[in-house]
Each structure stands twice: as structure tokens, then as C-alpha cells.
Chain A
Amino acid sequence: MWEQIRSNQIRSVVLVVVMGTLLVLLGYFLGLYFFDSAIGGLVIALVVWALMSLIGYFQGDNLLLTMSRAKKISRDDHPRLYNIVEEMKIASGLEKIPDIYIIDDPALNAFATGRDPNRASVAITSGLLQKLNRDELQGVIAHEISHIKNRDVLLMAMTSILLGTIVILAWYGSRFLIFGSMGGSRRRSSSGGGGQAQIIILIVGLVFMILAPIMAQFIYLAISRKREYLADASSALYTRYPEGLASALEKLGASTGQLKSASQATAPMYIVNPFRKKGLKFADLSSTHPPISERIRILRAMAGASFSNYDQAYRQVHQGSGSIIPAAGLAAGSIPLAKAAPKTKVEEPDEIQRARETSDVMWQLNNYKTITCDCGTKLRVPPGFKETSITCPRCRRRHPV
């Protein structure tokens, strides 16, 4: 069942190597233009890339969580969420429970981060916490945990850094080239009559500089989309209940609120594209995520919970196109789905209760103290409150702080 990780890694490694080659070629051409030596350009390209990778590797998760203004919660802040994450940790066989973060944003989204399975975090928006019931939340968390388990998180972070380096170098390279040629090219004066070969190299290099970022972007998106399908399949496998994720995605797709704290660079990290527009149905090459409606249809077409069931459903939806799961993952055969009530059904808080619950957590995370008065009023005491007691505005009772 877990073999698919390895064969998947091989495929991804090939794509990453192609991207790496793009970077090396870019460095080579830059070197030819600006330093008259290919080595100089190569060194610069690799140093820039190495620096960015080091920062990304050691600080990437912190940066991402800080940028999205996520707040870490403990078990007591939101026992249900914590329990769901722990359940999925057990189902996936992760060794350590990831840290859990909440982003105070009404948009519906979630992401996972962390460089290895033992140092990972999942973050979800407060909007998601309000809108989804237990089964749906479980499906979403399972999707995120499987990104951690399949080691997608590090791969995606590292590929996006590679992509970033290529984009930056090509951008500066082409700008310098344009300005350089306007003020009498240094290259022309220094080499003194290069002949046709040099002009050809110049043109090839320029074209390459324009195409490299675009090619890199396509490779990156191809990796990213494949990972999303695999995470959906794993989510179904862990929960044995694809309907949970399907109905969660339905809610996510119906809401068009864009996540304020997301950026183009962090977009592929989320469970659904944070910049999606309503009514976009077709998978185009420039999208980091497969279309939500398609993901839902695949999940609903699943006859069992195994990878081969997901693959069948995928081919059914795509009318006979190739497999999405690597062959090694398909050996498991069919696994029966859980019934409509997957586990012990419990009385669930409805959406209003969930909204109250979530807002309590958000106040608390911002260091407000909540006092519930006997008349039913909730008093939020700000962190810097100086007095020793507070009066309920409704019934005038005094409460010690």
C-alpha cells in the first residue's frame, strides 16, 4: 500500500532533475553573456538556489505559517479538531501528531507544511472549522496528513524554490540583457567580432531565458496536480469514507471567499486553490489544482476505498485516459467502504454551535479571557485589562477577572 510513495518519488525526481537542468542551462547562458565564462554564471545560479533552499528547508514552515498568520492551538482549545487530527495520524501510521494551526479567515481552506513527517503542521481556516461537520473535516485533515505522509510537502516546497530561482534569474538576466545591449553591449566590445556562432548562441540564450520560467512552471504544476489526486486517494483510504471529503470539497467549491493571507507562491500548498474563481470547470495547464468538480466526481464514483478503486473512478470520469496512481500502488485490490455512518455516530454540534465554538477559540488565541455571565452574556476581557472585576452590561452583575 505504501509502495506508491517510492515509485512516485522516482517520477517526481525525474521532473525535478529536468527543472534542475533548466536552472543549470540558465546559469550557463547568463555566464556567457555577462562574465564571458559559463562557470561564473553557473556558480551564481547555484549559490542563489542553495541559499534559497537552505532558508526554505530550515525556515520554510515557519515562514509560511507566519505569512498566513496562523495560530497554534492545543488540545484544550478545540478538542474535536485535535481528536480528528489524532485519528488521522493513527489511520495513516504517522509517528508523531502534527502541530495544529488555525488561520482566522472566513474563507474555506487548509494546508500542510513541514520538512519531514516528524516535524509537520496542518493549518485550517476558522471558516472551515465552522462550515464542516465532523466527517467532512476528517476528510480534509486526512488529505492534509497524506501530503505529510507522502512527503509532498518538502517536495513541493523545494520545487517551488527551484522554480522561484529560475524565475528570478531569468527576469534579471533578460532585463540586464536589454539594458546592456542599449548601452553598447559589453559582450560585443570584449570579444571583438565573434562571428555567426556567437550570434546564434545569443539568440538561443535569449529565447531560452524567456522560455525557461514557463517550462519550469508547467513542470511544477504537473507535479502539484498529481499530488492532489494522490492525496485525495489517500484521504479516502485513511477514512474509508470518500463521501466525507467529497462533500467537504463541495462546500469549499461553493464558497468563493479568497484567502487574504495567501499568495501566488503559497497557492499550491492549500487543499483548494485560494484564488479560484467561480464556474471554472476545465483543468488548464496553468492551474495548480485539478478542478474541484472533477475531484468530487471521482470521489463519488469510488466503489471501494483502495487506490485501485480511486484509479478506476478516475478513469471512469476521464473516459479511459491513463492511470493517475502508479502501478505499484494498485496491487492492494478493493477495500470495502465504511457505511453511511462510518464510526460511532455522535450528536454533532450544528453550524451555529460550531460558529460559537470557533469564535471562542479565536478570542482565546488572541489572549482574550471569556467570562460567561449567569444571564447568558459572554464577556470578552482584553489581555491588557487593568481592573480586578468587570460588570456585565446586560444584568449589571460584577465578575472578578
Chain B
Amino acid sequence: MLALWIVLGIIGVLLIFFWATYNGLVRLRNQVKNAWAQIDVQLKRRYDLIPNLMETVKGYMTHERETLEAVTNARNLAQQVSSAGAGARAQAEGELSSALSRLLAVVENYPDLKANQNFLALQEELTSTENKISFSRQYYNDSVLRYNNQTQMFPSNFVASMTGFKASEFFEVTLAVEREAPKVSFT
């Protein structure tokens, strides 16, 4: 009789462990998804800002055609791969970031542009969007790390493999240019 109770007790404890771990995994996976959606929102916002920026800058920057084209091309390319996985996307977005920072670097040569209210407002938006992209990436990677740890570490890895939780991909920056904060000096 006692043995039966012990066996039942062990089964009960196992069930509770399974239940708690499973729910924890689901919560983490949703957090990862949610964080990814956040990155997406910010990247889209950047796509939307770039045409406005081009429109404002065009009139002033008559000698910077290449820089402007590079930004537009990078933007279009990034938008095309926007449905791809984290790895491919990170590369395209990295290109866009560095093209943008090159553009903002040459603004220095155009004092008229720097005095333009419209441009200043756009520049604040763009800077903030860049920050938001990197903060959402930071949050996404933190979430992925926690989720992956949970799917790979003992003992929750048993529950994860039984119920089909797979590790997620980090959103790594693949470009050397982007990894170092762009050296833009405004004086």
C-alpha cells in the first residue's frame, strides 16, 4: 500500500514538473516571437523613413549621388529579403545601416541642410529608429538566449525534445562596419 502511494507521489511530482516546464517553454517561445515582431516593426519604420529622408536631402546633396543611391539600393534589398530568416536579414539590414551612416557622415559638408528644421526632425527620428533597432535586437537576443538555454539544459531539455521545442536563431550582426559603432563626428 505504501509503495503504491510512493509511486503515485512520484508520478504526481513528475507531472507537475512537466506541466510547469512546458508552460515555461511556451512563455519563452512567445517572448522570442514577440521580440522578433518588435524588430520587424522598427525595421519597417526605417524603410518608411528613408524615402522621406531622400526627398529632403536630394535638393541639397547634389554631389553625393552615389551615397544616396547606395542607401536606396540597400533599403530595397533589405525590404526584399525581409521575409527571410534572421541570418540573411541581419546582413541586408547591416548594409543598410552602414549606407545610412555614410550618408549622415557627409551631411557635415552641407551647413544649409543641417539648419533645415525638417531634416533635423528626420535625423532625430532616424537616430532613434537605429537605437530602437539595436535595442529590440538586444532584447531579442536576450530572449533567444534564455529560450535556447531552457531547451538545451537539463532537465528541461527532456520536455523540450518530447514536445518539439527547437532552438532559435540569434540576430547577429554580420558586418564588420556595423559591429563597431559608426564613427561619425559632428563638430
Give the residues in chain A near B130, CB-CB below 8 Å: 343-344
Q: Is A86 an interface residue (CB 8 A)?
A: yes
Given contacts A93-B35, A93-B143, contact A346 B138 (CB under 8 A): no
Q: Which of A79, A88, A342, A345 contacts B184 (CB 8 A)?
A: A345
Nearest chain B CB to A141 CB, angstrom units: 12
Q: Is B101 an interface residue (CB 8 A)?
A: yes
- Chain B 134-173 near chain A by CB (<8 Å), digits 1 or 0: 1110110011001000000000000000000000000000
**Interface size classification for chain A:** 20 to 34
- Chain B 173-186 near chain A by CB (<8 Å), digits 1 or 0: 00000001111111
**Interface size classification for chain B:** 20 to 34
- Chain A 332-360 near chain B by CB (<8 Å), digits 1 or 0: 00000011011111110000000000000
B139 contacts A91, CB within 8 Å?
yes
B123 contacts A346, CB within 8 Å?
yes
Interface hits, B31-46 → A, CB 8 Å: 31, 35, 38, 42
Interface SS of chain B: helix, strand, loop or mixed? helix
Q: Is A178 an interface residue (CB 8 A)?
A: no
A79 contacts B181, CB within 8 Å?
no
B131 contacts A79, CB within 8 Å?
no
Give the residues in chain A near B138, CB-CB below 8 Å: 91, 240
Complex: A84 Cα to B127 Cα, angstroms: 11
Give the residues in chain A near B127, CB-CB below 8 Å: 343-344, 346
A83 contacts B128, CB within 8 Å?
yes
Interface SS of chain A: helix, strand, loop or mixed? loop
Give the residues in chain A near B132, CB-CB below 8 Å: 83, 86-87, 90
Nearest chain A CB to B72 CB, angstrom units: 19
Nearest chain A CB to B130 CB, angstrom units: 4
Q: Is A11 an interface residue (CB 8 A)?
A: no
Complex: A83 Cα to B135 Cα, angstroms: 12
Complex: A87 Cα to B182 Cα, angstroms: 19
Q: Is B104 an interface residue (CB 8 A)?
A: yes
Q: Is B121 an interface residue (CB 8 A)?
A: yes
Nearest chain A CB to B122 CB, angstrom units: 11
Given contacts A90-B135, A91-B138, A240-B138, contact A344 B124 (CB under 8 A): no
A87 contacts B128, CB within 8 Å?
yes
Interface hits, B99-145 → A, CB 8 Å: 101, 104, 114, 121, 123-125, 127-128, 130-132, 134-136, 138-139, 142-143
Give the residues in chain A near B181, CB-CB below 8 Å: 338-339, 341-345
Give the residues in chain B near A345, CB-CB below 8 Å: 181-182, 184-186
B124 contacts A346, CB within 8 Å?
yes
Q: Is A327 an interface residue (CB 8 A)?
A: no
A347 contacts B180, CB within 8 Å?
no
Q: Which of B114, B139, B142, B183 contacts A347 (CB 8 A)?
A: B114
Complex: A24 Cα to B11 Cα, angstroms: 42
Q: Which of A79, A87, A93, A347 contacts B125 (CB 8 A)?
A: A79
Complex: A343 Cα to B132 Cα, angstroms: 10
Give the residues in chain A near B186, CB-CB below 8 Å: 345-347
Give the residues in chain A near B42, CB-CB below 8 Å: 90
Complex: A342 Cα to B135 Cα, angstroms: 11
Complex: A80 Cα to B131 Cα, angstroms: 12
Give the residues in chain B near A92, CB-CB below 8 Å: 139
Give the residues in chain B near A79, CB-CB below 8 Å: 121, 124-125
Q: Which residue of chain A has the shortest Cβ distance to B128 in the bound complex?
A: A83
Q: 20 A-B residue contacts at CB 8 Å?
A: A79-B121, A79-B125, A80-B128, A83-B131, A86-B128, A87-B128, A87-B131, A90-B38, A90-B136, A91-B135, A92-B139, A93-B35, A238-B135, A341-B181, A341-B183, A344-B181, A344-B182, A345-B185, A346-B104, A346-B124
Residues in chain B within 8 A of chain A (CB atoms): 31, 35, 38, 42, 101, 104, 114, 121, 123-125, 127-128, 130-132, 134-136, 138-139, 142-143, 146, 180-186
Residues in chain A within 8 A of chain B (CB atoms): 1-2, 79-80, 83-84, 86-88, 90-93, 238, 240, 338-339, 341-347
